[in-house]
Structure 1
Amino acid sequence: MAATSSSSSPCPSPRTVSLTLIINPKSNMLLFATSGKEFVDFLFYIMSLPVGTMIRLLGKQGMVGCIGNIYGSIEILDNSYMLSAAHKDMLLKPMLTSYLGNAAFLLPSMESSTYTNLYKCQSCSCLNVAVVPGSRCPTDGHNNDSHNSMNQNLTFVNPTNKDLNLGDDGGFVERFPYMVMDDLSVIPISLQSILTLFDKFTVSNGCVEEKDVVVGVNECVELLRASMQSKAVLSAVFLGKK
């Protein structure tokens, strides 16, 4: 692809990834971005984030609509109105599904609720699991004896990347180049898809500009915020377009 580079290529640190923006210099319009698997892994990881975690990352004011008000109401509600302190903690600090791959994916690590545990029946060999201690085991009889309660604490072991068949890199996608659109749509890169976009925006192959950017924790938080508020996310974060 013929292009003129507007900046020197950055050197990512272990907590950053690089992203190349393809821009029409005449209109300063972002056509698309090219990335490796690491940035796509981050985008896909967003789908595993509980709402409570997203609000903690962005702040209550970073959410569109009223969802932030619900979080704020739980936060300031006196514990005497909650069934237990554990219920409040689990709502404000929901457990992250870190077993999906490398935890955090460039986002700040968030503390999970200290009350979220797994429990099994202490008197039978069933495969039932509960998240609320004292739940009645549906296999071990139907009376109210204490030996039917699921109170035996289990230790959750995060599988390794090898266990999940993720390879040494972890994440979700294979190590291929990808195209990321301004609205965060992701497709594998191909000459045909590039030419289709050039034709759509009436851009000749030699009249585009590349801009290499470094994406770190701060940029990822801003990308997450912009994804809640805009359909031109990359432009908002990296080109300063509101």
Structure 2
Amino acid sequence: MAAATTTTPSTALTMKLLVDSQRWRVVFAEAGKDTVDFLFSLLAVPAGTSVKLLGKESMVGCMGNLYGSAERLEEPYVQPGAAKDVILGAAMPPPAAVRPNSWVFPLPAPAPAAPAPAPKKFYNCGNSYYRNNCGSYVTEVSGTCCPNCGNRMYTETNLVGSPQPVDAKEPVRKGFVQGGMVVYTVTDDLVISPMSNVSTIALLNACGVRDFGMLQERTVQIGYKEGLEILRASLQSKTVLTDVFLGKKPPSASSMKNGGMKNGGSTPQLSNGTRRDSLSWRA
């Protein structure tokens, strides 16, 4: 996999998983605005950049072959002035719909600031002091003939009352989804919707959850590594959250210290060490 400079979001992205410890899978996750903004931002990652980040050998399908073909193509067969980087790794600035702390992938180095333009100079006729009509004319080109007397206009003058340039400010990115008290449900296959009691019960039924005592709550953080794995799994799997945060095999009963089976494996436990016979959900 190609090396990449990592960036750390100003606010850690977190997600609360509801894990079925019996079947060892994520039933669904609870996520806030910034995490959901990040998940939606994956739609803005260029295909070539995805291959570059993940490595062409790990790609499912033919995208890796396509990337390798462009990579191997020699200069005589490439259009003059065409840059391979545009195809192989397009610049990936954060989309306008994503706030800076919702973007966990590396950003390109900022472009150097353009030098300030030289101030303009203005010239008038040297006879302006003696002839009032000459003072009515001003030019930016030194040596221009005065329309009144025909004298060359070499006398430098100052223009007053010009508006000061206003620095363009980057628009504040508010993100894609609403924040505040709104919480979102993220399923294992990345179906995202606002959380509600009805949708939660429907998801539990759809996943065949019958024993609430086997459910665990687990809070995970999403950084560059996790973001990269989510991107990879989203292109290859229908069980993204399970693959990224749980892995393929459940831990042994003896190693499940938080949210696992304790007391010889006879009593289902949650992360706080207490048995939960019923669940209450936030609307």
Which category of TM-score, normalised to the shorter sequence, fits these structures? 0.5 to 0.7
1-structure distance, mates of 2:44, 2:110: 14
Query: Is the Cα–Cα contact under 8 Å of residues 9 and 104 in structure 2 kept in the other structure?
Result: no
Percentage identity across paired residues of the two chains: 37
Match of 1:64 in 2: 60
C-alpha displacement of 1:172: 1.0
Q: Does residue 1:232 correspond to 2:239, yes or no?
A: yes
| Cross-structure match for 1:133 | none
Which amino acid in the other structure matches residue 190 of structure 1?
S
Structure 2 partner of 1:54? 50
2:171 is matched with 160
- Asked if 2 retains the 8 angstrom alpha-carbon contact of 1:182 and 1:235, the reply is yes
1:222 aligns with 2:222: no
SS of match in other structure, 2:49: helix
Mark the CA change 1:221 to 1:99 in structure 2 (over 3 Å): closer, same or farther. closer
Query: Does 1:199 find its partner at 2:195?
Result: no
Note if 1:174 corresponds to 2:157: no
| Structure-2 separation of matches of 1:79 and 1:112 | 28
Distance in 2 separating the partners of 1:13 and 1:92: 25
Q: Distance in 1 between matches of 2:169 and 2:217?
A: 40
Long gaps (5+) in structure 1: 1-11, 114-156
1:93-242 correspondence to structure 2 within 5 Å: 93-96=89-92, 98-100=94-96, 101-102=98-99, 105-110=103-108, 159-161=170-172, 166=173, 170-175=174-179, 176-200=182-206, 201-205=208-212, 207-241=214-248
Q: Map Cα deviations across residues 37-72 of structure 1 (whole Å, 9 max, x no partner).
A: 111111111111111111111111232111111111
1:214 match: secondary structure: strand
For residue 159 of structure 1, report the CA deviation from its aligned partner: 4.1
Q: Which residue of 2 aligns with 1:31?
A: 27
Unaligned runs of 5+ in 2: 1-7, 112-167, 250-283
56-65 or 83-92, which moves further after superposition? 83-92
What TM-score do the two structures reach when normalised by structure 1? 0.66
C-alpha distance in 2 between matches for 1:108 and 1:62: 20
| 1:203 to partner: Cα distance | 2.8
1:177-199 residue CA offsets vs partner (Å, 9 max, x unmatched): 11100001101011111111223
| CA distance in structure 2 between the aligned counterparts of 1:39 and 1:205, rounded to whole angstroms | 26
Aligned counterparts of 1:41 and 1:158: Cα–Cα separation in 2: 23
Report the Cα distance in structure 1 between the residues aligned to 2:199 and 2:88, rounded to whole angstroms: 42
User: Contact 1:93–1:111 (CA<8 Å) still a contact in 2?
Assistant: no
Query: What's the CA shift string for 1:182-238, capped at 9, x where partnerless?
Result: 001101011111111223323355552101111111000001001111000000011
TM value normalised by structure 2: 0.57
Aligned to 2:152: none
Task: Find the counterpart in structure 2 of residue 43 from structure 1.
Answer: 39
Q: Supply the AA of the counterpart residue of 1:172.
A: F
Q: Distance in 1 between matches of 2:73 and 2:109?
A: 20
CA distance in 2, matches of 1:160, 1:89: 27
